[in-house]
Amino acid sequence: MDRNRHFQPAVYMMANHKNGTIYTGVTSDLPRRAWEHREGVAKGFTSEHGCKRLVWFELHSTMEYAITREKQIKGGSRAKKIALIEDGNPEWRDLFLDLRP
């Protein structure tokens, strides 16, 4: 992956399958971070639970806003996370392939 990408704060959710385990994270480079999860480079929760599918993301103007939003989502219920995903991605398809380099 190109290390010279444009800085773009984002909050995202990875899942192992539809209605499966969900991981919520924040990053300044979504394509790189999602690739790391998919390839198992990002050790920890996502690799242990097989969360390789990018099912939701939201771009932000600053990292401060992205972190605040991540905390809000993480503090919410699983039902609220599922509602966010299904509002824009009812099939829980992998959005990684839609990201533009």
Q: Find, among 41, 54, 64, the residue nearest to 96 by Cα.
A: 54
22 and 57 in contact (C-beta within 8 Å)? no
Q: Residues 10-98: name the CATH superfamily.
A: GIY-YIG endonuclease (3.40.1440.10)
pLDDT digits (tens, 9 = 90+) for 42-86: 789 999 999 999 999 999 999 999 999 999 999 999 999 999 999
Span 78-101, average pLDDT: 93
Predicted pLDDT at 101: 59
100 and 57 in contact (C-beta within 8 Å)? no
Ramachandran region of residue 64, left (φ > 0), alpha (ψ -120 to 50) or beta? alpha
The pTM score is 0.91
Predicted pLDDT at 5: 56
DSSP E strand boundaries for the chain: 10-15, 22-27, 53-59
Torsion, Cα of 22, 27, 29, 33 (10° steps): -40
Please say if the pLDDT value at position 3 is more than 70: no
pLDDT digits (tens, 9 = 90+) for 8-39: 999 999 999 999 999 999 999 999 999 999 99
